[in-house]
Structure 1
Amino acid sequence: MKLRLGTRASELATTQSGMVARDLERAASERGIDLEVELVHITSEGDVNRASLVGLSQTGVFVNALRDALLADECDLIVHSLKDMPVEPHPELDLAAVPEREDVRDALCTLGATLEELPAGARVGTGSPRRGAQVLALRPDLVVEGIRGNVGTRLGKLHDGFDAVVLAAAGLSRLGRLDDATELLDPQAMVPAPGQGALGVEIRPDADPAWADVLRSLDDFATRAAVTAERTMLQILEAGCAAPVAAYATVVDGTLTLRARVVNTAGTLALNETTSGPAAQAAALGRSTGHTLLGRGAARLMGGTK
């Protein structure tokens, strides 16, 4: 049996998709199913539009082209970085698997200095308002500037006038480039993005159960519960990738703990909220956290109020 896995053509996307393909083939083999998964490259607006992604990313710029290809039967399954996916479920697709999460932390990449050691006025590059706001909260004397591009392009900024760039540790790890990180930032100080480090695999509801059930076996309960809480909170806040909103949930012995943070873009004001409860109630915990943050004024912070 052959399957077509739709993916963006970037190095990170194909690496992530290749991981899912190998895991799916391995799981099928363990069930006595001969399965071969080939990667099909799909081009998105984000791959051809070199402008800033802030705003564009709110509509899931890296997701829509993949979904269109899946619905058009150009592929059988698609893999996303979960933090790039819109929080609203697609009405015609099934999020069949959320595999076990990678490292959720953000990675500071420099030519040797840690965040604490960077000199005042140092230029820090990031394409994420969440990262930028939290960097400024920790070091208001730094200068945060927007950058975009693939991992290699962003790391190249260190030799092009930037003193530091901040990337997801998960991406560096999957590319075998974690050694490029000078410092992995504590998720208590630099709270990750909702869904960071996790992948989502979507299929059509009418997919052949012969392989769809194998794919569903890759789903990791703790990871799905954690990202469900994080993304439900994001949905309640009606915030996208352009908002400085952070969330990180962990599951220990069936108990989920959700830590959420909303920061203004200057990094001068922040709201923090922590909620715990049964992992089986992940969505409810995310909703209650989001409503609590709204009640405390999160909308004003997301709107840029200083």
Structure 2
Amino acid sequence: MSTNASRPLKLGTRGSTLAMAQSGQVAERVRRLTGRPVELVGITTYGDVSREHLSRIGGTGVFVSALRDALLAGEVDFAVHSLKDLPTAQPPQLALAAVPVREDPRDALIARDGLTFEQLPDGARVGTGSPRRMAQLNAWARALGRRIETVPIRGNIERRLGFVRSGELDAVVLATAGLRRADMADAITELIDPSAVLPAPGQGALAIECVASNEDLTTQLAELDDPRTRAAVTAERSLLSALEAGCSAPVGALADVRDEGQDVTELHLRGVVGTTDGTTLVQLSTTGSVPASAAESLARAQALGRELADEMLAKGAAGLMGERAH
């Protein structure tokens, strides 16, 4: 075995409990795939150290740039991101080598006393750092004839759950995938149906990135790619890109891929944009056939995302994205 083949692969990851947990799971799969040891390298990003609301610091790329810098500098061989944190434009020097099978994309409610959203009292304080969630949670409460107070929060999973345990908040809303990967899913009091709250584009999926010029590693990591997940998140991110919105914008999207036959699958894409107070939402969906061929599948998924974005913009979506939480 050559020296290079026996050298541990360095996996760049954010240092949070969740990031280390999900990167550790990927590392184990890469060990089995390549036969090489994998070493986790914790990297602090600007989004980790800033306490500003994401909409104030720009949102897009704040959890990603430092990892990408480490890749380009040769400090790590590949990196694992939460896909929803990735900017929609892919740098040519880096390859999105794999998008593994997606975890549950839904949002989850963690409420005091085991309450569901519909059981929360009028005026309940619900914590979330996401304008997207604020918009849809407020709209949901309005539809129930009630009012909630959405409270901007930041911090890791433990800190956010602590707001409920301490009684400071009645509930918080987090990604189901993160709670499951961090082995904290027992805190969930309700899995929120996407018909009430659409998740962030790419939520629940991971992105495995490496330097594009490292063709051998790119090819090996591609074995972890799940074509159905890749097609779904491609449609969602195409919608986000066509809306010219960043990952901190109040945009929700979810694509479902369903088999229609041996050579064709059906992709159903839903999107939403809203004001953070929930008074106005633009929510539309579209369905299209996606060929089995990988290249054609991604091209069609991208087209569906752009088409739905055009429809949403025609309904006034651009004006709603400017009204964010500050």
Match for residue 31 of structure 2? 25
Match for residue 183 of structure 1? 190
Residue 163 (1) aligns with residue 170 (2): yes
Report the CA distance between 1:160 and its aligned residue: 4.3
Instruction: Name the CA distance, whole Å, in 1 between partners of 2:176 and 2:96.
Output: 24
Match for residue 275 of structure 1? 286
Q: Which moved more, 1:93-102 or 1:56-65?
A: 56-65
Report the CA distance between 1:57 and its aligned residue: 4.8
Q: How does 1:1-306 map to 2 (within 5 A)?
A: 1=6, 2-28=8-34, 34-111=35-112, 112-140=114-142, 141-158=147-164, 159-209=166-216, 211-253=217-259, 254-279=265-290, 280=297, 281-304=300-323
* Paired residues of 1:128 and 1:241 also in contact (CA < 8 A): no
Q: Which amino acid aligns with 1:84?
A: D
Instruction: Name the CA distance, whole Å, in 1 between partners of 2:99 and 2:58.
Output: 21
Instruction: Name the CA distance, whole Å, in 1 between partners of 2:252 and 2:81.
Output: 19
SS at match of 2:119: coil
SS at match of 1:46: helix
* Paired residues of 1:57 and 1:84 also in contact (CA < 8 A): no
Gaps of 5+ in 2: 1-5, 260-264, 291-296
Aligned pair count? 299
TM-score of the superposed pair, with normalisation by structure 2: 0.89
Measured on the aligned residues, the alpha-carbon RMSD in Å equals 1.3
* Paired residues of 1:107 and 1:184 also in contact (CA < 8 A): yes
* Paired residues of 2:60 and 2:248 also in contact (CA < 8 A): no
Q: Could you report, residue by residue, the CA deviation over 1:15-53 in whole angstroms, capped at 9, with x for unpaired residues?
A: 11111111112223xxxxx21111011111112212222
Q: Could you report, residue by residue, the CA deviation over 1:122-181 in whole angstroms, capped at 9, with x for unpaired residues?
A: 100000011111110011401001001000000000114100000000000001111100
Q: Which amino acid aligns with 1:116?
A: E
Q: Which amino acid aligns with 1:257?
A: H
Report the CA distance between 1:304 and its aligned residue: 2.2
Gaps of 5+ in 1: 29-33
Q: Which moved more, 1:258-267 or 1:94-103?
A: 258-267
Instruction: Name the CA distance, whole Å, in 2 between partners of 1:303 and 1:21.
Output: 39
* Paired residues of 2:95 and 2:218 also in contact (CA < 8 A): no
Report the CA distance between 1:241 and its aligned residue: 2.5
Instruction: Name the CA distance, whole Å, in 2 between partners of 1:224 and 1:284.
Output: 14
Instruction: Name the CA distance, whole Å, in 1 between partners of 2:249 and 2:46.
Output: 21
